[in-house]
Amino acid sequence: MTPRPAFNICVLCGSRPGSDPAYIQAAEALGVALAERGIGIVYGGSSIGMMGHLADSCLAAEGYIEGVIPEALFLKESAHPRLSQRFVVQSMHARKTMMLDRSNAFIVLPGGLGTLEEAFEIITWAQLGIHAKPLAVWNVAGYYDELFTFLQKSIAHGFVPAAHRKFVAVHSTLDETLNHITQWKTPTTLAKWLDRDQT
Ligand code: AMP
């Protein structure tokens, strides 16, 4: 079995495949790219939708992928039977906390309400200084365009400090997304991360 790598990325993505084939192609490309780079994947543990394509492509490329799935979703989200490692937890909150603890960075692919909820919780935890790990959105086929237009509006209307825009990096290609993560320099102090003096 592939040993757990030193660097692991949590991938957040849909439990459905979406309507554009570009979405599952992206999930598969990411699974292979991380496996080839010796980077481990932490994800929600499902075998369906984008999550299933991510896991199957990573495993086919002999990569490392671990799943964190709540007991209540084990059957509903068809827990993947062949992961490098699987954790069954008691709640959605336990899942997110464990995914945060076990990963060094986050990549968000297209997904639905669950993906949005998870991504925004990670982003707001960064805003609160709970972690200083990078999060990059791979905006496949412009799927998240309107969301980021809205985020700009939130900044323009004074609800989100402009400095906090850095907690979300948006990229249109896989290479840019991976470069963002690998070139990330973790801030040395919490104040620097939060830009407290600028907000
Ligand atoms: P979706 O994007 O709706 O297909 O969901 C993607 C993943 O997010 C699925 O594994 C869901 O179980 C998960 N999810 C949905 N809601 C939550 C939540 N409140 N906390 C953590 N994970 C969630």
What are 78-94's pLDDT values in tens digits? 999 999 999 999 999 99
- Is residue 139 in contact with ligand 1, taking CB distance under 6 Å? no
Total-model pTM = 0.95
Which of 125, 107, 140, 102 lies closest to 11 in space, CA to CA?
107
Output b/e per residue, 38-54; b: 16+ Cβ within 10 A.
Answer: ebbbbbbbbbbbbbbbb
Q: Whose CA is nearest to atom 21 of ligand 1?
A: 92
Cβ atoms of 147 and 48 within 8 Å: the answer is: no
C-alpha to C-alpha distance for 69 and 79, rounded to whole angstroms: 7
Task: Calculate how far, in angstroms, residue 14's C-alpha sits from the geometric centre of ligand 1.
Answer: 8
Domain boundaries, the chain: 8-193
Cβ atoms of 134 and 184 within 8 Å: the answer is: yes
Q: Which atom of ligand 1 is nearest to the CA of 70?
A: 12
Mutate-to-test residue for ligand 1 from 115, 122, 147, highest number of ligand atoms within 8 A of CB: 115
Question: In one letter, which amino acid is 75?
Answer: L
Structural fold of domain 8-193:
Rossmann fold (3.40.50)
What are 107-136's pLDDT values in tens digits? 999 999 999 999 999 999 999 999 999 999
